[in-house]
Structure 1
């Protein structure tokens, strides 16, 4: 996976632009969450592809370099097996039966974002990815084994997530925060850059169908867990709201909350 993605990111910029995402799409090469020409962009290259269900793939965005399609499918199928093992356990934790989360998704959607962070001589001025939380149920991340690029926000500071070779990092996303009525908070995180080292990472997003209506589960609202904290909203509407904003921590999740 790493070697194949490296071949794509090494292509000349004009070649990569052949796969540029359209202004009304999130698939393809380029940066999303761009809302102004005056906005400072992140220091990184990325390409996002929808993987499952396969009918949502837009193959015009898939680079035609050797073995790219086969590698993406092999890696994504393996990560999907991890997700299929995780979701039943999270279901039980939430008080559902083991197939509960699968049913709430209606159809589990899976996409992958491949990130490349070049060397940067002014690391104090830019970030690889600005602070944000993911609009997902869970995100499964493959980090670079050599450098600490991922940081999570905890209390008043940023905590580095030291890579452990041959492991995956699993982040809680905004969808799980809503379903759990805030019991499980989506992780605010960012990616940093390095002056003498380039990095790559691979984020797999597990999300529900766009027509799914998000709202707290009944068992997550009682005298123990507290009153209802989030309103009902279609997942697709939430995503469109988030994409219309620049990355700014968890400010996009305020849209989900009931004012008190």
Structure 2
């Protein structure tokens, strides 16, 4: 991660000049507790976004649900059907809920408890793990560089959870005392589950089972704990702006019972109603590139509740930083590749230069003109 912190310092404000002094803003939880009648302008969404928040399709679509036990049992009568459902979910939705995934319930529940306890800490204790100027890891908001930009209504703790020798433990909370041990166990399970899913995806695409896993087994992983505080003017703010994930595969779990995640389907926003015990899995930009567009990353967003806070945990799996990302040869048809090839480290540089993950703008830059 040290190399990437240096990269961010070199990038500065994106113009080649030195990094500007960081913009210091109140955390969202503090703003929420004040029950402000006027929301700071940098959190107010444009009018068209405010109108869009009410245009949600509720019952027309249901996010696919995939049963891992059926995928694993090659001798079951439902094995082939479940493989087909997984393929359809990755191709037509880019999102699905995974049940019977095999991750011990105790590990998930302990991570949920620690997430709640961390965000319940006094602000000064949480600030001990604050992001460094122009950094990405730690407690705070990412890509804050101007009071003129539109910010998301969320407080988060983002951690790089690669191998222990490569971690910057300065950002790893010591309270609750069980946090580090529980996150270790949780992230290991996320890695194992991702590798398993990638094998089935490779098989569905007619590829060798190790095609994707060979790139992800020694890859990187980020875990993000999210707190979306309530907002009295919830229709004027956004918990997480519409975007597709820039990584390979994402696995999320909702900590409490407050909904907010929405997926874009056929131009409409579809609420995700979590299935108890399930992980919400979505395809990231890197998988779209690798599959030459057969599986597509999908825009999603988080809306805010006017009365209750929402908590979630996201795990984001990616290849090693030196991996070359590009369409897998076995999936390139007669018309050739649809996307450029790039070293993952250079791809991340584009993320930092853009300074904001917006819609699918980054994947659009990777598309080749035909």
How would you bin the TM-score normalised by the shorter chain? over 0.9
Q: Give the corresponding residue for 1:229.
A: 338
Q: How many angstroms does 1:185 deviate by?
A: 0.6
Q: Give the corresponding residue for 1:179.
A: 290
Alignment of 1:45-194 (within 5 A): 45-65=155-175, 66-105=177-216, 107-144=218-255, 146-194=257-305
Question: How many aligned positions are there?
Answer: 258
Q: How many angstroms does 1:60 deviate by?
A: 0.5
Q: Give the corresponding residue for 1:257.
A: 367
Q: Give the corresponding residue for 2:325.
A: 214
Q: Distance in 1 between matches of 2:348 and 2:185?
A: 27
Q: How many angstroms does 1:200 deviate by?
A: 0.6
Q: Distance in 1 between matches of 2:305 and 2:250?
A: 24
The 8 Å contact of residues 114 and 179 in structure 2, kept in 1 or not, is answered as: yes
Judge which range, 14-23 or 155-164, deviates more.
Answer: 14-23
Kindly provide the CA deviation profile for residues 73-99 of structure 1, in whole angstroms up to 9, marking residues without a partner as x: 122222222113212112222332212
**Which ranges in structure 1 are unaligned for 5 or more consecutive residues?**
none
Q: Distance in 2 between matches of 1:219 and 1:35?
A: 42
Kindly provide the CA deviation profile for residues 207-239 of structure 1, in whole angstroms up to 9, marking residues without a partner as x: 01111111111121114xx43111111111112
Judge which range, 200-209 or 107-116, deviates more.
Answer: 107-116
Q: How many angstroms does 1:106 deviate by?
A: 6.7
Q: Distance in 2 between matches of 1:52 and 1:259?
A: 36
User: Going by fraction, where is strand more abundant, 1 or 2?
Assistant: 1
**Which ranges in structure 2 are unaligned for 5 or more consecutive residues?**
1-110
Q: Distance in 2 between matches of 1:73 and 1:170?
A: 20
SS of residue paired to 1:187 = coil
Q: Give the corresponding residue for 1:243.
A: 352
Q: Please, what TM-score do these two structures have when normalized by structure 1? A: 0.93
The 8 Å contact of residues 327 and 339 in structure 2, kept in 1 or not, is answered as: yes
Q: Distance in 1 between matches of 2:331 and 2:143?
A: 32
Kindly provide the CA deviation profile for residues 163-186 of structure 1, in whole angstroms up to 9, marking residues without a partner as x: 111110110000100001111111
Q: Distance in 1 between matches of 2:168 and 2:205?
A: 35
SS of residue paired to 1:101 = helix
Q: Distance in 2 between matches of 1:145 and 1:16?
A: 20
The 8 Å contact of residues 105 and 212 in structure 1, kept in 2 or not, is answered as: no
Q: Which of 115, 120, 140 is matched with 1:5 structurally?
A: 115
User: Going by fraction, where is helix more abundant, 1 or 2?
Assistant: 2
Runs of 4+ in 1 over 6 A off after TM superposition: none
Q: How many angstroms does 1:196 deviate by?
A: 1.2
Q: Distance in 2 between matches of 1:111 and 1:205?
A: 5
The 8 Å contact of residues 53 and 110 in structure 1, kept in 2 or not, is answered as: no
Kindly provide the CA deviation profile for residues 114-165 of structure 1, in whole angstroms up to 9, marking residues without a partner as x: 1011111111111111111111110011024523211011122111111111
The structure with the larger Rg is 2
